[in-house]
Amino acid sequence: MAKVLIATEKPFAAIAVNGIRDVVEQAGDELALLERYTEKSQLLEAVKDADALIVRSDKVDNEVLDAAKKLKIVVRAGAGYDNIDLDAATAHHVCVMNTPGQNSNAVAELALGLMVMAVRNFYNGTSGTELKGKKLGIHAFGNVGRNVARIAKGFGMEVYAFDAFCPKEAIEEAGVKAVASVEELYSTCQVISLHIPATAETRNSINADLVGKMPKGGLLVNTARKEVINEPELIQLMEKRTDLKYVTDIMPAANEEFAAKFAGRYFSTPKKMGAQTAEANINAGIAAAKQIEGYLKEGCEKFRVNK
> 155: alpha, beta or left, given left = phi > 0 and alpha = psi -120 to 50?
alpha
In 3D space, the residue among 116, 91, 94 whose CA is nearest the CA of residue 267 turns out to be 116
The stretches of 6-163 forming alpha helices (DSSP H) are: 14-26, 40-46, 62-67, 86-91, 104-119, 143-154
Q: Whole-number minimum distance, CB 11 to ligand 3PG, in Å?
A: 10
In this structure, is the dihedral angle defined by the CA atoms of residues 59, 65, 69 and 72, taken in order, positive or negative? positive
Task: Work out how close the CB of 227 gets to ligand 3PG at its nearest, in angstroms, rounded to a whole number.
Answer: 12
**Which residue lies nearer to ligand 3PG by CB, 103 or 193?**
103
* Closest chain position to ligand 3PG (CB): 78
Q: Which of residues 243-272 bind ligand 3PG (CB under 6 A)?
A: 272
CB of 114 vs ligand 3PG, minimal distance in Å:
14
Q: How far is the CB of 206 from ligand 3PG (least distance, A)?
A: 16
DSSP assigned state of 254: T
C-alpha to C-alpha distances, 272 to 10, 31, 164, 223, nearest whole angstrom? 9, 26, 26, 8
Residue list 73-102, contact with ligand 3PG (CB under 6 A): 78-80
Rounded Cα gap, residues 6 and 75, in angstroms: 10
Tell me if 195 contacts ligand 3PG by CB under 6 A. Answer: no
Q: Which x/- pattern, by CB under 6 A, does the window 15-54 give for ligand 3PG?
A: ----------------------------------------
Does 57 participate in binding ligand 3PG (rule CB under 6 A)?
Answer: yes
Residue 144 vs 296, nearer CB to ligand 3PG:
144
Q: Determine the Cα angle at 218 with ends 171 and 162, to 5°.
A: 15
Among 103, 193, 277, 291, binds ligand 3PG (CB under 6 A): 103
Query: Rounded to whole angstroms, how far apart are CA atoms 303 and 300?
Result: 9
142 near ligand 3PG, judged by CB under 6 A? no
| Nearer to ligand 3PG (CB atom), residue 60 or residue 275 | 275
DSSP 8-state assignment for residue 272: -
Q: Which residues bind ligand 3PG (CB under 6 A)?
A: 10, 56-57, 78-80, 103, 272, 274-276
